[in-house]
Chains A and B, each alone.
Chain A
Amino acid sequence: MNIFVDATREALRLLFSGDAYVWGILRISFYVAISGIILGGALGLPLGVWLGVARFRGRSFLVALVNTGFALPPVVVGLIVYILLSNTGPAGSLHLLFTPAAMIIAQTILAAPYVAGIALAAVQAVPRDVRLQARALGASSARALYMHLREARVGLAAALIAGFGAIFSEVGAVMMVGGNIEHETRVLTTAIVLETRQGNYALAMAFGIVLLVIAFAVNAWLTHVQQAQPAVRTDRSWS
């Protein structure tokens, strides 16, 4: 039990003493995950919205593909990005391997289908009639789509928040393509792996607690957003 108490104490000390090593890792962690969710969202949101709204042949296949992306193993993504960016790979000349950019690329690939899948569900949960009703009041197709997305906005925000939570706590891909280099590519998750291997359990636990607190904060925010306004007002029957 003692180790948990020590670890908690150590975690609080490290955080509040402004320890450069810890804050450096936090800074890189946020930089990589926020960049990953911005780029993953930029790809995933439009994809999810498109799949949620459009009807075309082959749509089911694409939806299945997006849903598979949910279960994309991070190490496999890490492996593919590694091969692409390695010296012998097609993008080797960019020399991005073991840089934050490589980690951002991997996390973008992980986040995009995650965001797309949740956004798709959110858009589909709004009755299709919404766009027809907007158009029946004179809205253009584009404006009617905006009205539809406005109704799905809580679900769309949830997609981004959940995507951020997922990539922030991911370890496999960032470890492979980032290399866990101190002050460069070391993030919370990879730092935990390293410190545990080196027997610095208290420090590893401190990082673990920070990660937990952040995960909790993200989920609390998500819950708040969802509770403040139900994602969807399903077709009410007025009786």
Chain B
Amino acid sequence: MKFGVVVFPGSNCDTDVKYAIETVLKQPVDYLWHQEGDVAGYDCLVLPGGFSFGDYLRIGAIARFSPIMKSVEQFAGNGGLVIGICNGFQILLEAGLLPGAMKMNDSLQFRCQDAYLKIENNETAFTNKIMPGHILRVPVAHGEGNYYADESMVAELERNGQIVFRYSSSEGVVVPEANPNGSTANIAGVINKEGNVLGMMPHPERCAETLLGGEDGKLIFESIINWHQGGGKRG
């Protein structure tokens, strides 16, 4: 299964993502510079974390118009798997590939800590290897991860099973104290209606091997590979 990691000026988790896919999961992976226009031949595109274009104007607002994004949109439109992590999530929101928007953390502080994630939908291309009831421990590191969706949008997301992760206690209880940034309904990750584009604030690539303090993040990548091997279609 071939992965492509989209690199924008200011991306800084691209190397970590490549390492997790290549060294931990033993899958081929290439960097794709944001000015490239072609994403043919890839099975999954990753938009990594960082501070693309210095977070100028609005996070993700400028990256969203990078030349490669037209190809990413087309790839996603054809059913290709796309995962945006942290800044990558913010870019997908700005691009309209995922619903909602991101605001500054309600604490106004940059939050760099482990977060516990309750899995609300483990039947997606990105979560199918996660056992029901398993609470993930995955680090977050962001200043603007305060996911916003209005009431009717949240209701629709719930109805469609589009809320994939919620910030929870280590026991999996969704409480305000477990919410690191003020996100609406403790939302940590959402998927599009079609189920092939996922955005998440926590960083699975930072916990894909025990040496780094945990392996929960590996489950996300293993799910993607499992889904692909099970006949998922190429974008």
A-B interaction: no
